């Protein structure tokens, strides 16, 4: 049905439609889009187009109709609830030219749902049992609105299979289980001919996107010729490399591609899929049974907060000090007032004493210290805004690096904490030299 | 051009297109969609439809062409960088039937950009100076790819104005300033006939969404009848109330609506528009010339990091301690080992001593201390997972509150730091009683 090149597996042409005026006004993030696309892609079903429109019946009817003219499967989220801005059922019945009929099984479920909670069922709730005639009804185990699957009316021009429309409820706690327990099994049953699909995302740090491409693409050429897809996604200081392939050889092709990238990029790769740099660092520390403390000035607690975002961080993180003032650098970390007066708070010497002080006073195997000038004010010719010193203390001594991070405050804090985490990660890798 | 009801001002019909295979694979959240729709809506330009497609030239050409057939303005994000999956320039030139030409000003900017960083310009970067013939070039102050604005080729069927296509770079730190400094002024200049539009967002804390609606909507009725639009957006622990109106009376109507909401909701409103709770707190401290220190356990530095996200925080924030271990609670904050042994680390008594210790040792007017059980493990019948004690110390004494925050780690840290900030904010309001 969908266009395929000779020798290629057919791909299922899927479109996703998210409805909600709050999306169009930018009041909420479209988390459904990311989550649903991710679930589908991880099972080999890549969404080709996603559309969002407001909760207006005319808009919903138009985008659903257009999507069904292009795709084999159209999935909608939202608009199935009981309130006046839930219009998907009506819009679809109207588009398909079919009536809404009451589903007796859903009525019974709704009555049982309210009875189990000792609540009277509001009359308006009953509208959720009205379904376009001909729809499969998917029971909602976690809420009131059922999911619906319905083939589009046949255009009557030959033997081609009509596209399917699947309507899913909007609340997250109803949508997620319905996708896992109903949509994905239904897809495997309904579209079994889709090719095996394998993907891996390698997360790298400190290699710019264009340099990454120059480094890996020539060597990946033979695998790309055999069907390997390569994609890049840049974040501040990081690049994700995504490798994917379809068909019976998919696993071998992706594995070979991954070997090439790991060989060319080496220890700049810190993790796969959704792993964060702080997770990688906490994992290495936990594996080696070592602990870390932090002393932060210009990052203001961001480094500590990132480390403690990782479940299990308490096993490796003893604590930290945010020493915005010179008084605290002296009082809590034992930085010498002479060093502060001679070199200034933003200096290699102060970073060194902060790290050494944090390590001994907080009693950890490692200590990271950060001092710098976030700006916008405070720069000098010698130390312009963005100047940062990061120190890593351990039993054998203290190493210090200097960076120039010219970013706005939020990105500055992220990038600087990223560099500190990376400095520790490199130190924890097998074969790393001691200072 | 766009359909208008009698007596209504014309609205600009806008579509947004986000390109990126990582979006379709669900690897990243589409933050651009939310942010850009929000910026536009706050200035009276509501996006009617948003579409996302992968980085494939055919897909981009198709969705841009379709959008231009419906809308007066189409905005794209992404696909302007230097790598092989940056295809928007080429797709648009192809769609419009115009060549790509090198923009000499952009070439000069690119060369200067790399020279300023003492880096050799990779040859591939130069492609970012290639622009579809006829495009306005918007200089990128924070990166290499310029923004582009180009009218679609006229269909030659009468006097109607051709729709505009605006192409914006994908990296956040390039996109955001370009929208604020270039797109919004360009829109006001290019489409001046759009109705005067006024909106205000009031940010409130500790009032649930349904209670908020009950409290304000009856009193807003007369203004709603005169055209006031009221919207709500709930965040963890907070509700934004958005008031908007169009036309010559817009300012007076929104002002009247704001007066009603402020009168009914009072000090639960902490700010307007994008103001954060930490900005409100830092502002109050700065205005009163007072300082704060923090001592955190389960929030792991999040509170300090939020306070230091605010430009100018260094005038009011002296520093903080992240005391994950009991040893640090004793060593850095002076919590008594007897108190720890008698009451446990998560207790009112320990929170009190942490706050008092942070205030005296870090030498601030106020100190906030947080101790709690983030979970998933560590709960007891008496102190279940989610139990949190927050203490606020000042010269007159220490106040402690207890909360039960049963959320996953990320939301737990946010909500708990939110409650601490709100405790201090309420204390700083005029007329607040001293402990």
Whether residue B164 sits in one domain with residue B211: no
Q: What is the CATH number of the domain that holds B216?
A: 3.30.70.2860
Three-point CA angle B338, B341, B346, nearest 5°: 115
Give the chain A residue nearest B17 (alpha carbons): A51
Instruction: Kindly report the pTM of this predicted structure.
Output: 0.81
Query: Above 90 in pLDDT, residue B211?
Result: no
Taking CB atoms and an 8 Å limit, are A25 and B48 in contact across chains? Answer: no
Q: What is the CATH number of the domain that holds A383?
A: 3.90.950.20
Q: Which residues contact A156 (CB under 8 A, 6 or more apart)?
A: none
Measured distance CA(B9)–CA(B6) in Å, rounded:
8
The per-residue pLDDT for B374 is: 86
The shortest CB-CB distance from B27 to any of A240, A308, A413 is to: A240
Whether residue A172 sits in one domain with residue A220: no
Q: What is the CATH number of the domain that holds A213?
A: 3.30.70.600
Q: What is the CATH number of the domain that holds B47?
A: 3.40.980.10
For residue A434, is it within any domain? no
The per-residue pLDDT for B3 is: 30
Whether residue A407 sits in one domain with residue A293: yes
The per-residue pLDDT for A210 is: 84
For residue A342, is it within any domain? yes
Whether residue B178 sits in one domain with residue B159: yes
Taking CB atoms and an 8 Å limit, are A321 and B322 in contact across chains? Answer: yes
* Per-residue pLDDT band at B213 (split at 50, 70, 90): confident
Whether residue A161 sits in one domain with residue A28: yes
* Interfacial B residues in 283-342 facing A (CB < 8 Å): 294, 296, 299-305, 307-309, 311, 313-314, 317-325, 327-328, 331-332
Establish if A430 touches chain B: CB-CB under 8 angstroms: no
What does the mean pLDDT of chain A come to?
91
Domain interval for residue A264: 197-272
Domain count across chain A: 3
For residue A6, is it within any domain? no
Percent of residues, chain B, with pLDDT higher than 90? 70
Taking CB atoms and an 8 Å limit, are B41 and A24 in contact across chains? Answer: yes
Percent of residues, chain B, with pLDDT higher than 70? 95
* Interfacial A residues in 17-36 facing B (CB < 8 Å): 22-31, 33-36
* Interfacial A residues in 200-239 facing B (CB < 8 Å): 201, 209-211, 213-214, 217, 231-234, 236
pLDDT in tens, A27-72: 889 999 999 999 998 788 889 999 999 888 999 999 999 999 999 9
Give the least confident one: B6-10, B171-175, B377-381: B6-10
Domain closes at, from B143, B166, B190: B190
For residue B145, is it within any domain? yes
Which residues of chain B are within 8 Å of residue A320 when distances are taken between CB atoms? 301, 321-322
The per-residue pLDDT for B274 is: 84
Q: Which residues contact A409 (CB under 8 A, 6 or more apart)?
A: A374, A375, B309, B311
Whether residue B112 sits in one domain with residue B181: yes
For residue B7, is it within any domain? no
Query: Above 70 in pLDDT, residue A214?
Result: yes
Taking CB atoms and an 8 Å limit, are A24 and B362 in contact across chains? Answer: no
Give the chain A residue nearest B86 (alpha carbons): A232
* Per-residue pLDDT band at B252 (split at 50, 70, 90): very high
For residue A345, is it within any domain? yes
Domain closes at, from B224, B252, B272: B272
Establish if B116 touches chain A: CB-CB under 8 angstroms: no
Which residues of chain A are within 8 Å of residue B354 when distances are taken between CB atoms? none
Q: Is B405 helix (H, G, I), strand (E, B) or coil?
A: coil
Whether residue A69 sits in one domain with residue A96: yes
Structure tokens at A416: 């600087």
pLDDT in tens, A176-206: 999 999 999 999 898 876 777 888 999 999 9
Q: How far is B431 from chain A (nearest CA, A)?
A: 30
Taking CB atoms and an 8 Å limit, are B33 and A26 in contact across chains? Answer: yes
* Per-residue pLDDT band at A419 (split at 50, 70, 90): very high
* Interfacial A residues in 360-419 facing B (CB < 8 Å): 361-363, 376, 407-411, 413
What's the complex ipTM? 0.80
Whether residue B255 sits in one domain with residue B366: no
What is the crossing angle of helices A209-225 and A250-265, to 10°?
A: 150
Establish if A3 touches chain B: CB-CB under 8 angstroms: no
Whether residue A313 sits in one domain with residue A283: yes
Give the least confident one: A343-347, B49-53, B116-120, B281-285: B116-120
pLDDT in tens, A247-293: 889 999 999 999 999 999 999 999 998 899 999 999 999 999 999 99
For residue A9, is it within any domain? no
Whether residue B297 sits in one domain with residue B226: no
* Per-residue pLDDT band at A155 (split at 50, 70, 90): low
Query: Above 90 in pLDDT, residue A170?
Result: no
Whether residue A256 sits in one domain with residue A203: yes
The shortest CB-CB distance from A51 to any of B23, B50, B331 is to: B50
Establish if A153 touches chain B: CB-CB under 8 angstroms: no
The shortest CB-CB distance from B83 to any of A232, A302, A303 is to: A232
Query: Above 60 in pLDDT, residue A158?
Result: no
Show the 3-state SS of chain A.
CCCCCCCCCCCCCEEEEEECHHHHCCCCCCHHHHHHHHHHHHCCCCEEEEEEECCCHHHHHHHHHHHHHHCCEEEEECCCCCCCCCCHHHHHHHHHCCCEEECHHHHHHHHHHHHHCCCCCCHHHHHHHEEECCCEEECCCCCCCCEEEEECCCCCCCCCCCCEEEEECCCHHHHHHHHHHHHHHHHHHHCCCCCCEEEEEEEEECCCHHHHHHHHHHHHHHHHHCCCEEEEEEECCEEEEEEEEECCCHHHHHHHHHHHHHHHHHHHEEEECCCCHHHHHHHHHHHHCCCEEEEECCCCCHHHHHHCCCCCHHHCEEEEEEECCHHHHHHCCCCCHHHHHHHCCCCHHHHHHHHHHHHHHHCCCEEEEEEECCCCCCCCCCCCCCEEEEEEEECCEEEEEEEECCCCHHHHHHHHHHHHHHHHHHHHCCCCCCC
Whether residue A149 sits in one domain with residue A25: yes
Closest Cα to residue B219, out of B190, B177, B261? B261
Q: How far is A67 from chain B (nearest CA, A)?
A: 12
Most confident among B6-15, B35-44, B345-354 (mean pLDDT): B345-354
Domain closes at, from A190, A220, A255: A190
Q: How far is A372 from chain B (nearest CA, A)?
A: 13
Counting every residue written for chain B, the total comes to 435
What does the mean pLDDT of chain B come to?
91
For residue A5, is it within any domain? no
């Amino acid at each position: 049905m969908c266009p395929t090149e000779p020798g290629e597996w057919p791909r299922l042409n899927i479109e996703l439609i998210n409805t909600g005026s709050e999306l169009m006004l930018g009041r909420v993030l479209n988390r459904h889009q990311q989550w649903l696309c991710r679930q589908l892609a991880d099972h080999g079903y890549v969404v080709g187009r996603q559309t969002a429109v407001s909760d207006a019946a005319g808009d919903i009817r138009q985008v659903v109709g257009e999507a069904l003219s292009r795709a084999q499967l159209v999935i909608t989220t939202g608009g199935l609830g009981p309130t006046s801005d839930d219009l998907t059922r009506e819009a679809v019945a109207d588009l398909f030219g079919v009536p809404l009929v009451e589903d007796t099984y859903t009525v019974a479920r709704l009555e049982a749902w309210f009875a189990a909670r000792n609540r009277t069922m509001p009359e308006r709730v009953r509208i959720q049992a009205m379904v376009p005639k001909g729809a499969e009804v998917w029971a909602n185990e976690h809420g009131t609105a059922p999911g619906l699957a319905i083939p589009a009316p046949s255009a009557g021009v030959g033997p081609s299979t009509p596209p399917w429309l699947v309507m899913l409820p909007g609340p997250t706690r109803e949508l997620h289980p319905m996708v896992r327990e109903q949509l994905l099994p239904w897809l495997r049953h309904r579209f079994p001919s889709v090719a095996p699909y394998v993907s891996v995302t390698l997360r790298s740090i400190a290699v710019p996107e264009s340099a990454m491409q120059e480094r890996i693409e020539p060597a990946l050429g033979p695998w790309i010729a055999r069907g390997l897809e390569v994609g890049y996604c840049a974040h501040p200081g990081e690049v994700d490399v995504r490798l994917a392939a379809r068909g019976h050889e998919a696993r071998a092709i992706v594995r070979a591609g991954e070997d090439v990238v790991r060989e060319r990029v080496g220890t700049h790769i810190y993790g796969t899929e959704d792993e964060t740099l702080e997770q990688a660092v906490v994992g290495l520390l936990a594996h080696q049974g070592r602990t870390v403390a932090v002393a932060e000035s210009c990052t203001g607690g961001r480094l500590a907060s990132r480390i403690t975002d990782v479940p299990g961080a308490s096993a490796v993180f003893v604590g930290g000090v945010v020493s915005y003032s010179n008084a605290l650098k002296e009082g809590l970390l034992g930085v010498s007032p002479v060093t502060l007066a001679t070199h200034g708070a933003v200096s290699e010497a102060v970073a060194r004493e902060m790290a050494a002080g944090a390590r001994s006073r907080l009693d950890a195997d490692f200590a990271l210290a950060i001092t710098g000038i976030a700006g916008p004010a405070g720069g000098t010719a010698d130390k312009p805004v963005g100047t940062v010193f990061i120190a890593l203390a351990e039993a054998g001594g203290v190493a210090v690096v200097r960076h120039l991070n010219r970013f706005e405050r939020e990105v500055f804090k992220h990038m600087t904490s990223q560099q500190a985490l990376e400095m520790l990660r490199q130190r924890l890798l097998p074969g790393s030299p001691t200072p």
